[in-house]
Amino acid sequence: MLADLICSSGLAQPVRISHVEPVRRPYASAVSFSYRQGDSVVHLSYFNNNLIIYLASEDHNPEYRYKVSSLLPQYVNTRDTFVVLPNLPNGELLFEVQNIHQSNFPPAHLKIIVESPLWLRWWFLPMMFLYGLLFVSAFLYLFYRYRLRQFMRLQRVRDRIARDLHDDMGSYLSSISIMSQTARRSAMKDPAKTQATLERIGQTARQVMDSMGDIVWSINPTHDSMEQVVARMTDVASSLFAWSADQAVHVALDMDVAAEVRQLSLSAENRRDFFLIYKEAVTNVAKYAKASHVRVSLRREGANLVLVVQDDGQGFNTQSPVRQNPSGGNGLRNMQTRAALLNGTLTVESTIGQGANVTLRFPV
C-alpha cells in the first residue's frame, strides 16, 4: 500500500483528494465538469463557483487542515472527509490540505481556476470603449451626412429660386421697363399706342405677381400634401377658364383626381416643377387652343404619378409649333426641362383640328 502513497517527488503522501464536484445553482444551466483522481487543476465557471472536495487518508482517524490562497490564508482544522468551498472568487486559487497527525509530509494541492465573466476580463473595457467610440463616430457621421443633405437640399431650393427670379422676374421687369419708356415717348404723339402699351404693362405686372405667388407657395412646407396641390391646381384652372368665359368662349373643365393621389406628398422642389408644368399646360390651352372642353387627370401608375391635360381645341403641329406669343418664348422647352428635373418624361401629342394631349409621368 505504500506504493499508492508515493507522489512524483518520491515522498509518502498520507492525504489525497479522492473526488471533486461542483454544486450547481438552481437557476444556472448545467456545464461540463470532469475530475479524475490525481488531477492537479479544475476549472469552474463564474456562475457555478461552488465546489466540494472529498478527502481520503490511510489514517483511520484523520484530522485535516486546509487553506485556500487569497481566500483562507490561515489553516482551518476539520475532521470531515470533505470541504465545501462556496462562492469562489474569479481567478486562480490554490487549495492545500494535509493530515495534522502527519504534518511532516507535504500537503496535497489542487489548483482551482474560476473563469471571470466577460465584463470582468481585461479586454472587456477597452473593447467597450472602442465599440462606444465607433458608435459615437458612426452617429456623428450619419448626423453630419443628414445635415449635409439638408443643407444641399436647401441650397438647391435657394439656387432654383434665384434662377427663377433672375430668368422670369428679370424678363418681366425688363419688359415693363422697355414698355414704360415706349409709353412715355408715345404719350403725346400716339395715345392709342400708349393705351395698348399700358395694358401690356399691367398684364406683365400681373404675371410678375403670379410668378412671385408661385415661388412663395412652392416653398411653403404647409403645401406639401397633394390635397393642397390639387386645390391650387383647381383654382388656377378655374381662374384661367373664367377669363376665357369673359371672351364669350365657354370652356368646360373636368378635374379627375384619383383617391390614392391625395394621400401623397411632394418635396418643395418636385412640387414647384410639377405645378409649373401643369400651369404652363393649362395656360397654353386657355390662350391658344380655343377649346370648349378641358380634362385634367391625375392618377398613380405603380411608382409613378401621371398628369394628363387634354383639350378638344384647334391643336398644333408638334414638330414645328408656331410661336403665338413672341414675348413669352419657351413654354414647351421649359416644360421638358422641368420634367427632366423630376426624373420624368413629358409627352405632347396633338393634331391640327383635333386638340392636344400633354402627359407628364414621374416617380414619387
- Examine the domain organization and report whether 93 and 166 are in the same domain: no
Q: pLDDT tens digits for 220-247?
A: 777 668 888 898 888 888 888 875 444 5
What CATH number should be reported for the domain holding residue 241?
3.30.565.10
3 has pLDDT over 50: no
The answer to whether 108 and 97 have CB atoms below 8 angstroms apart is: yes
Does residue 11 have a pLDDT over 60?
A: no
How many Å apart are CA 256 and CA 132, to the nearest integer? 55
Helices (H), 94-252: 124-164, 170-186, 191-219, 226-246
pLDDT at 117: 86
Domain check: are 157 and 198 in the same one? Answer: yes
Same domain, 20 and 62: yes
Beta bridge partners of 297: 256, 308
* Residues 6+ away with beta carbon under 8 Å from 245: 251
User: Which structural domain range is residue 95 located in?
Assistant: 2-117
pLDDT of amino acid 168: 66
Average pLDDT over residues 180-201: 79
Domain boundary among 90, 117, 144: 117
Residue 256 · residue 318 · CB < 8 Å: no
Tens-digit pLDDT profile for residues 283-325: 889 888 888 899 999 999 999 999 999 999 888 887 766 554 4
pLDDT on residue 174: 74
Instruction: Specify whether 138 is located in the same domain as 112.
Output: no
Does one domain contain both 235 and 301? yes
Q: Which of 97-106, 129-138, 223-232, 352-361 has the lowest mean pLDDT?
A: 223-232
Residues 251, 205, single domain; the answer is no
Question: Three-state SS for 41?
Answer: strand
Q: What is residue 152's DSSP assignment?
A: H
Place of cell 489542487: 110
3-state percent breakdown (helix, strand, coil) of the chain, nearest 5? 45, 25, 30
Q: Side-chain half-sphere of 293: how many Cα atoms within 13 Å?
A: 4
Query: What per-residue confidence (pLDDT) applies to 154?
Result: 80
Provide the CATH number for the domain around residue 66.
Answer: 2.60.40.10
> What is the three-class DSSP state of 73?
strand
pLDDT at 323: 52
What residues does 96 pair with on adjacent strands? 67, 109
pLDDT at 326 > cutoff 80: no
pLDDT score for 256: 92
Same domain, 243 and 351: yes
Span between the terminal Cα atoms of the chain, in Å: 93
Residue 318's pLDDT is 78
What is the residue-averaged pLDDT of the chain?
A: 82
Mean pLDDT of 205-229: 76
Give yes or no for residue 107 having a pLDDT over 60.
Answer: yes
Flag whether pLDDT at 145 surpasses 50: yes
Shared-domain flag, residues 205 and 281: no
Determine the average pLDDT of the residues in 182-209: 79
What is the model's pLDDT at position 277?
92
What pLDDT is recorded for position 213? 75
- Residue 285 Ramachandran class (φ > 0 left, ψ -120 to 50 alpha, else beta): alpha
Q: Which of 135, 106, 118 is nearest to 45 (CA)?
A: 118
* Sheet hosting strand 64-68, strand order edge to edge: 41-44, 108-114, 91-99, 64-68, 72-78
Give the tens place of pLDDT for each residue, 242-271.
754 445 567 888 999 998 998 888 887 888
Of 160, 192, 219, the residue that ends a domain is 219
Domain count, the chain: 3
pLDDT at 249: 63
Q: How many CB atoms lie within 10 A of CB 46?
A: 15
Identify the burial level of 61 via C-beta atoms within 10 angstroms of its C-beta, where 0-12 means exposed, 13-18 middle and 19 or more buried. exposed
Higher per-residue pLDDT: 229 or 36: 229
Cell of 178: 422697355
Q: Within a 13 Å sphere around the CA of 195, how many CA atoms are in the beta-carbon half?
A: 3
Q: Do 241 and 253 touch, CB atoms closer than 8 A? A: yes
Q: In this structure, are residues 67 and 27 in contact, taking their beta carbons and an 8 Å threshold?
A: no
DSSP result, 311-357: E-S----SSS---S-TTT--HHHHHHHHHHHTT-EEEEEE-TTS-EE
Beta strands in 91-248 (DSSP E): 91-99, 108-114
Q: Give the whole-angstrom CA distance, residue 356 versus residue 266.
A: 27
Q: Does residue 241 sit in the same domain as residue 199?
A: no
Instruction: Looking at the structure, tell me whether residues 234 and 363 fall in a common domain.
Output: yes
Q: What is the pLDDT of residues 55-87, one digit of tens each?
A: 998 888 889 999 998 888 899 999 999 999 998
Per-residue pLDDT at 7 exceeds 60: no
Q: Are residues 144 and 266 in the same domain?
A: no
Rg (CA), the chain: 46
Final residue in a domain of this structure, among 219, 239, 270:
219
Question: Nearest 5°: phi and psi at 275?
Answer: -65, -40
CA distance 233 to 272: 12
Q: Does residue 133 carry a pLDDT above 90?
A: yes
**pLDDT value for 27:** 67
Sign of CA dihedral 72, 77, 78, 79: positive
Distance CA 291, CA 309 (A): 12
- My answer on whether 248 and 360 are in the same domain is yes
